[in-house]
Amino acid sequence: MAGLAFLAPETAMPSFVKSLGGADGLVALMPVLLPAAFSTPGLFAAPIVERLQRFKTWVVIFGGLQRLPYLITAAGFVFFTASRTVAAADRGAHAIVSGLVGGIGVNAWMEMVTRMIPPHQRASGWAIRYMIQGVLGLSAGPVIHYILGALPGARGFAWLHLICFGFLVLSFASQWFMIETPQVRTIQLPRQSYKIYLTELPMLMRAQPALVRLVFARFTGMGYLMVVSFLTIHALQITGSSQAEVGHFVLANMCGSLIGNIISGLIGNERAGAS
């Protein structure tokens, strides 16, 4: 997640796609393409993941595949800089592919992490994770400012994707040292076929009102990002600043994220950690 700060999908990426002549619709979707694509496959991968006794192999395989588009996109920016349309499409396709592959593995990742962290420490555990992202992400602002100042356009963003990929490789390597806690199943329930699961999925959604509300809240809750996409672009236009100035917005975003996660970690342990 620290690596993703160097791409800043809420601030830097919309400005970059706009500079390539990308349509306003694509600019608005830049912050939401990845999380939207990330959320969808989990619904269809869930019955397969539920059959697994251990999740680490699944997590490592799809975690590795999820990271490759960042390297491919960097290469695309280098070799297709002459075609602004191809570069913009490359960035949009990268977010979708990475999100879809990551969505296949996220259920197993969440289940594995939930086993490893005690319930009363989960809220602070997630907060610490985001705080580490924020602390490392503080360096992303000055780095983005320097790189885009020296190499404006696609080549500068190619370097930012390579930096992000380097962090993702480190996170991938760290998974090898994670010790998965085995699940103890005292009762083995019969598993329905995958075809039956897909057939009964609409009925399952209707029978779980809380789940429907959660899906609706997550879906509509991403809408504000479509407005945020244009804030940086607007600020650069009215101030006449160069694209490199997006680094300052990234720095401000990381500072806000740090403060918010410190508060949520303290409150979450007390009120939501065991729920």
> In a 10 Å sphere around its CB, with 0-12 CB exposed, 13-18 middle and 19+ buried, how is residue 93 labelled?
middle
Q: How confident is the model at residue 87 (pLDDT cuts 50, 70, 90)?
A: low
Residues 20-54 have pLDDT tens digits of 777 777 788 788 777 777 877 887 888 888 888 88
Q: How confident is the model at residue 275 (pLDDT cuts 50, 70, 90)?
A: very low
Q: Inform me whether the pLDDT recorded for 188 exceeds 60.
A: no
Q: How confident is the model at residue 193 (pLDDT cuts 50, 70, 90)?
A: confident
Q: How far apart are CA 82 and CA 63, in angstroms?
A: 32
* Averaged confidence pLDDT in the chain: 79
Residues 223-265 have pLDDT tens digits of 777 777 788 888 888 888 888 888 888 888 788 877 877 777 6
Sketch the domain layout of the chain as residue ranges.
Answer: 3-177+192-271
Q: How far apart are CA 161 and CA 71, in angstroms?
A: 7
Q: What's the pTM?
A: 0.77
Q: How far apart are CA 146 and CA 107, in angstroms?
A: 37
**What would the DSSP string read from start to end of 168-237?**
HHHHHHHHTT--PPPP--SS-PPPPPHHHHHHHHHHHHHH-HHHHHHHHHHHHHTTHHHHHHHHHHHHHH
Residues 115-156 have pLDDT tens digits of 888 777 777 777 777 777 777 778 888 888 888 888 887 788
Taking alpha carbons only, the member of 17, 8, 58, 3 closest to residue 256 is: 8
Better-scored residue on pLDDT, 133 or 56 = 56
Decide if 140 contacts 11 (C-beta within 8 A).
no
Q: Inform me whether the pLDDT recorded for 268 exceeds 70.
A: no
- Coil/strand/helix, residue 128: helix
Better-scored residue on pLDDT, 137 or 160 = 160
Q: How confident is the model at residue 269 (pLDDT cuts 50, 70, 90)?
A: low
Q: What is the pLDDT of residue 166?
A: 92
Residues 88-125 have pLDDT tens digits of 666 778 788 888 898 898 888 888 888 888 777 777 77
Taking alpha carbons only, the member of 23, 5, 22, 6 closest to residue 157 is: 6
Q: What is the pLDDT of residue 272?
A: 54
Q: How far apart are CA 261 and CA 263, in angstroms?
A: 5
